[in-house]
Amino acid sequence: EKVEGVLEVVSGYTGGDVEDPTYEQVSSGRTGHYEAVQIYYDPEKVTFEELLDVYWKHINPTDSD
């Protein structure tokens, strides 16, 4: 949300087979969930490509959790 043009960011989980899992459950790797973010943004102020640049600079794609 610190990026100009980003209106809202919602974090949560995707996939999996446990309803409303806790962070601890997801982190254990036993629920089948992955951490996820949903980003609402103004494409007049920031492009999808710019958002991807920010995203890739802040995550480690080789980290399994």
Give residue-wise pLDDT tens across range 4-45. 999 999 999 999 999 999 999 999 989 999 989 999 999 999
The mean per-residue pLDDT over the stretch 49-56 comes to: 94
Taking 70 as the threshold, does the pLDDT of residue 1 lie above it? no
Tokens of 19: 């309803």
d(CA 7, CA 14): 21
Is residue 63 very low, low, confident or very high in pLDDT (cuts 50, 70, 90)? confident
> Residue 25 belongs to what H/E stretch?
helix 23-27
Indicate if the pLDDT at residue 61 is higher than 80.
no
Beta strands in 5-65 (DSSP E): 6-15, 33-41
Residue 52: both structure tokens together: 């991807």
The reported pLDDT for the residue numbered 13 is 94
